[in-house]
Structure 1
C-alpha cells in the first residue's frame, strides 16, 4: 500500500478506466492489477507469461493505452506503484478510506471531460420502452436507487434486482414488450448471474450499457458502452460512491436527451405529489 493508503493495484487500475480492451488485453490488464508491484519490474515477455498471452499482445496492449510501447507503460507502472502523496499527519483508517473516495470522485470528474460515452449511453437507454435495469447482490440497492428516480420521468422502468431462474424470464419479457437497451450495474465480486444476464441481453439483441468498476470488469466484454467508476476497497465492505455518482450523471444525461417529455412528467409528478400531500416539505 502506498503512503496515501491506496493499494498499488488500484492506482494501476486507473490506467485502464474508459479503455475499450479486447478479451486478451483484459487478461493482461487483470494480471497487471493483481501483481502491480511485481509487474512494474518485469519485461514484456515476463508479463506475457504471467498473463498467459504472447509477447506481441503485451506490446499491442501498451500501444492501445496510448504508450509508445511496453517500456513506456512499465515506467508509468513504476511511478504508480512506488510513489504517492504523503499521508496527512494523524489520519486514521476511516479518514483514509473517505479521502480515497474523494480521489475516486476527482478522477471520475476528470474523465467526464469527454461525455461522448455518457451521451451515447443516455440516448440508448432513454429510447428504450420498457427500460430494464439490472443490479444483483451488492449492486441491487444502486439499481433500485437509479430505478426509483428514472421511473419519475421515463415510463416502464423495470428493476431486475433478484436472481434465480426467473431473471432471464423477466429479461425476455422486457425484450418482448419492446425494450431496446438495458442498463447493467455490475460491481465486485461480479455475480455470475449478472454477467450471464448481460451476455443473454446482448445475444437477444438488446444494447447494453454497463456501469462497473473498471474497463476490465467481466461485464465489459459484452457491453456496448462501459461507464467505469472505481469502487472503494479500504473498508471491510466496498464503498460505491463512484458508481452512484456515475448512475446519477447518466440519468441526468438521459433527461437532457429528452427534455420536453421529461419536464412534462416531472410537472405531472409534482402536481400529483401536491394533491396527495406526499411530502412534508
Structure 2
C-alpha cells in the first residue's frame, strides 16, 4: 500500500489539474476508490472517465482496471468492518440487492476459474490423496468451509482431523503431532487469521505439506504454503462472499474422490446399508398412501 501511495504523492506535482483531483481522492479515500469504476470515480471528483484512465496510465498501469486491482490487492486486509459496510452501501447505490449480490458472486466464480493455477490444484489433490493424516483448519467465517471439507473428507479418508478453533492453545494441542507425510489445509480470507497462519507455519516447520485456500498470492497464507489455491472473495461487503471458495472446495473433494474411486464406492455402499438399517433419511411416502 505504501509503495502505491508514495508513488502518487511523489508524482502529484506533475499531474494535470484533473489528475490531481483524482490523486487527492485516492490518497484520502483509497478504501472507496478501490471499488469504484473509472466513470464513477470521475463523476465523484468532477473529471471525465478518460482523465481517470490517463491517470492510471501515468502511474505506469496498462489501464484503470489494473490500477483498481492494485488498490484492492493492497488494502484487502486493511478494511475494518465499518469501512466494508460503507463500501458495500456505496456499491449498492439503491440497486436491487438480490441481483447485485448474485451477479457479484457469479463474477467471483468467473475470476477464480480464470486465475486458479491448475498445477497447484493437482498438487494439492496429490498431496491430500497420499497423506498419512489430514488436518483441516479455518476460523471465523472460514470455519463453515473447514466444516464442509471435514464432513466429506471424513467419508473419504480414515485419518482426518477437523481442528477446533476455540483458542490458540487448543489448536496447537490438536496438531501437536503433525509431521512428514501429513497435510494441513489452511483456509483464510481477509482479514486473515493469525491463528490459521501460525498453525500453517508450525505444520511446515514440522515437515508436513501445507495447502492454502486463500484469495491472493499476496495473502500471508500463500507465503507459507506448498500448494496455493486461489479463490476470489468479495471482501468489500461486510458479509464474506464464500461462493467461489466453496466451488474450489467442491472441485477439490470431487477430484480427490475420483482418484480413490474404488475405495469410495465400497465406503458409500456400506454407508447406504447403515443409513437404511438405522433409518437415517426420510423415505418417500408409499405411492399407495
TM over 0.5: yes
Identify the residue that residue 105 of structure 2 maps to in structure 1.
101
Cα deviation, residue 253, structure 1? 1.3
Selected match of 1:74 from 60, 74, 80: 60
Cα distance in 2 between the residues matched to 1:72 and 1:258: 53
Length-normalised TM-score, structure 2 = 0.65
Per-residue CA deviation, residues 15-38 of structure 1 (Å, 9 max, x unaligned), is: xxxxxxxxxxxxxxx667x86x95
Point out the structure with max Rg over C-alpha. 2
Cα deviation, residue 143, structure 1? 0.3
SS class of match (2:141): helix
Q: Using a 3 Å threshold, how does the CA distance of structure 1 residues 278 and 80 change in structure 2: closer, same or farther?
A: same
Identify the residue that residue 142 of structure 1 maps to in structure 2.
145
Q: Using a 3 Å threshold, how does the CA distance of structure 1 residues 76 and 280 change in structure 2: closer, same or farther?
A: farther
Identify the residue that residue 24 of structure 1 maps to in structure 2.
none
* 1:118-133 to 2 correspondences below 5 Å: 118-133=121-136
CA RMSD of aligned residues (A): 3.2
Selected match of 1:236 from 235, 238, 248: 238
Q: Using a 3 Å threshold, how does the CA distance of structure 1 residues 196 and 109 change in structure 2: closer, same or farther?
A: same
How many residues are matched? 216
Identify the residue that residue 57 of structure 1 maps to in structure 2.
none
Identify the residue that residue 21 of structure 2 maps to in structure 1.
none
Identify the residue that residue 223 of structure 1 maps to in structure 2.
225
Length-normalised TM-score, structure 1 = 0.67
The question of whether the paired residues in 1 share the 8 Å contact of 2:138 and 2:196 is answered with yes
Gaps of 5+ in 1: 1-29, 43-70
Instruction: Between 189-198 and 233-242, report the one with greater CA deviation.
Output: 233-242
The question of whether the paired residues in 1 share the 8 Å contact of 2:181 and 2:209 is answered with no
Selected match of 1:159 from 140, 143, 162: 162
Cα distance in 1 between the residues matched to 2:262 and 2:2: 47
Per-residue CA deviation, residues 66-113 of structure 1 (Å, 9 max, x unaligned), is: xxxxx8993335344579xxx9x983344323211101111223345x
Identify the residue that residue 187 of structure 1 maps to in structure 2.
189
Selected match of 1:115 from 109, 112, 118: 118
SS class of match (1:193): helix
Cα distance in 2 between the residues matched to 1:38 and 1:250: 41
Identify the residue that residue 20 of structure 1 maps to in structure 2.
none
Q: Using a 3 Å threshold, how does the CA distance of structure 1 residues 255 and 193 change in structure 2: closer, same or farther?
A: same
The question of whether the paired residues in 2 share the 8 Å contact of 1:201 and 1:207 is answered with yes
Identify the residue that residue 255 of structure 1 maps to in structure 2.
257
The question of whether the paired residues in 2 share the 8 Å contact of 1:153 and 1:266 is answered with no
The question of whether the paired residues in 2 share the 8 Å contact of 1:131 and 1:179 is answered with no
Identify the residue that residue 28 of structure 2 maps to in structure 1.
none
